[in-house]
Amino acid sequence: MTQKDKEEALRLLTEEQLPIVAAASDLHKTAKQVVPGDGNADAEVMFIGEAPGAKEDETGKPFMGAAGKFLNELLGSIGLQREDIFIANCIKHRPPENRDPLPEEITAYAPWLQRQIDIIDPKIIVTLGRFSMEFVLGPGFSISKIHGQAQSIARASLPAGRQVVMPMYHPAAALYSGKLRPVLLADFQKIPKAIELIKNPPKMETSTEGSKEADLQQRLL
């Protein structure tokens, strides 16, 4: 699809999903507006966060508060702007009092986010925080152990059948714990390198998925 085709597909997806999530969840009743996502519909990098906060609820765009300002700083450190990437959340309406999303709420919005991923078709997905990490990778992972490490998951719609995912701490975590700022900055430096390796994969004698992932991880160190 062209970028315009993807933009139209995302617009239609929002129209389609709004009544569906309204029937499955009450979050829309306390939110001011929906926050479907924002950015380049043809982006190579897609960021996935948790849920809208107060600023996002007011503007209708994700990551507009203090965490968003730090995200912009992180993007700038690798030569990117918000216009270069697409960013969405697991949840499209703000939970009351900024509480954590409930499992049934993530389930209600899951088809919406999955369709966004399929439409945008990014070369790499960067998850921000544990909720989006678990959505993409499944349960059983610890963000403190795998942050900044490239993961490979099955995705049948891709020619290679695999999707590269890089879990990272949520920018808001660095606002509460200053020691995570350099960690996030270091992890972000791996994104351009990962994209280059995806575009121009090195020739390998073996072709198992485990060896490919290990090689990609080693080259990012």
Q: What is the CATH number of the domain that holds 95?
A: 3.40.470.10
Q: Please report whether residue 215 resides in a domain.
A: no
Domain count, the chain: 1
Please list the pLDDT of the chain residue by residue as tens digits (221 residues).
999 999 999 999 999 999 999 999 999 999 999 999 999 999 999 999 999 999 999 999 999 999 999 999 999 999 999 999 999 999 999 999 999 999 999 999 999 999 999 999 999 999 999 999 999 999 999 999 999 999 988 765 655 557 899 999 999 999 999 899 999 999 999 999 999 988 887 775 555 555 555 555 555 55
Q: Which residues form the domain of 118? A: 3-190
Instruction: State residue 202's pLDDT score.
Output: 74
Q: Please report whether residue 144 resides in a domain.
A: yes
Q: Please report whether residue 76 resides in a domain.
A: yes
CA distance 69 to 210: 36
**3-state class percentages of the chain: helix first, strand second, coil last, to nearest 5:** 50, 10, 35
Instruction: State residue 158's pLDDT score.
Output: 56
Short-list 170, 174, 172, 168, CA closest to 187? 168
Q: Please report whether residue 213 resides in a domain.
A: no
Q: Please report whether residue 47 resides in a domain.
A: yes
Instruction: State residue 178's pLDDT score.
Output: 87
Using an 8 Å Cβ cutoff, are 132 and 48 in contact? yes
Task: Name the DSSP letter for residue 180.
Answer: H
Instruction: State residue 8's pLDDT score.
Output: 98
Instruction: State residue 171's pLDDT score.
Output: 96
Q: How would you list the strands of the sheet with 151-154, edge to edge?
A: 38-39, 86-89, 45-49, 124-128, 162-168, 151-154
Q: Please report whether residue 128 resides in a domain.
A: yes
